[in-house]
């Protein structure tokens, strides 16, 4: 017989059903539906088939609910602030000032060169892509000197023109 997951008695079966029916978002509704079906006696495989969740994810929902109650349910992505930036505001200011000067090797600044600079500042390797991201975030752009304009050679231009021979003869 398939394994049945056990739920902590945070909410009754009827309360789980009501919260499922009154849920404001699809993810929250699916979480409450899963818990309601499990509390009503369905097996974990039956609930997984009905909700479309994998057994592993279903176990994770139950674990979270058993630990934290209904606070653990719903879409929590908006509460995720993301990773801490590599450079704080002061370090970004340092980078901006550094980019105002020519690169020590005489070339122009680019993403990999910024990553090397960041690696030296932070004391650990920084991927070149991260250097490029900070380079662009500071609204910096690659600056290459324009080539010197050379005056066109009139004779060369005439030689390449279509029907150049007719014009010369006339």
- Per-residue pLDDT of 99-158, as tens digits, reads 888 888 888 888 999 999 999 999 999 999 999 999 888 876 656 666 777 777 888 777
pTM: 0.53
Beta strands in 18-92 (DSSP E): none
Rounded Cα distance between 43 and 66, Å, is 17
Q: Is the pLDDT of residue 1 over 60?
A: no
Rounded average pLDDT over 50-58: 94
DSSP category for residue 4? P
Per-residue pLDDT of 90-99, as tens digits, reads 999 999 899 8
Rounded Cα distance between 11 and 76, Å, is 20
For the beta carbon of residue 13, count every other beta carbon within 10 angstroms.
16
Closest CA to 26 of 56, 52, 54: 52
Please state at what angle helix 26-39 crosses helix 55-68, rounded to 10 degrees.
90
pLDDT at 141: 60
Q: What are phi and psi of 28, to 5 degrees?
A: -60, -40
- When comparing pLDDT for 5 and 30, which is higher? 30
pLDDT averaged over every residue in the chain: 87
Q: Is the pLDDT of residue 168 over 70?
A: no
pLDDT at 142: 56
């Amino acid at each position: 017989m398939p394994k049945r997951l056990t739920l902590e008695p945070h909410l009754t079966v009827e309360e789980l059903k009501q919260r499922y029916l009154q849920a404001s978002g699809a993810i929250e509704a699916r979480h409450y539906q899963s818990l309601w079906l499990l509390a009503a006696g369905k097996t974990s495989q039956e609930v997984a088939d009905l909700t479309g969740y994998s057994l592993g994810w279903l176990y994770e929902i139950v674990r979270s609910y058993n630990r934290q109650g209904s606070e653990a349910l719903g879409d929590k992505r908006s509460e995720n602030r993301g990773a801490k930036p590599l450079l704080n505001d002061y370090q970004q200011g340092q980078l901006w000032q550094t980019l105002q000067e020519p690169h020590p090797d005489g070339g122009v600044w680019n993403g990999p060169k910024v990553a090397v600079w960041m690696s030296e500042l932070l004391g650990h390797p920084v991927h070149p892509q991260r250097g490029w991201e900070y380079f662009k975030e500071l609204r910096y752009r690659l600056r290459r000197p324009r080539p010197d304009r050379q005056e066109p050679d009139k004779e060369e231009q005439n030689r390449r023109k279509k029907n150049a021979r007719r014009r010369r003869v006339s």
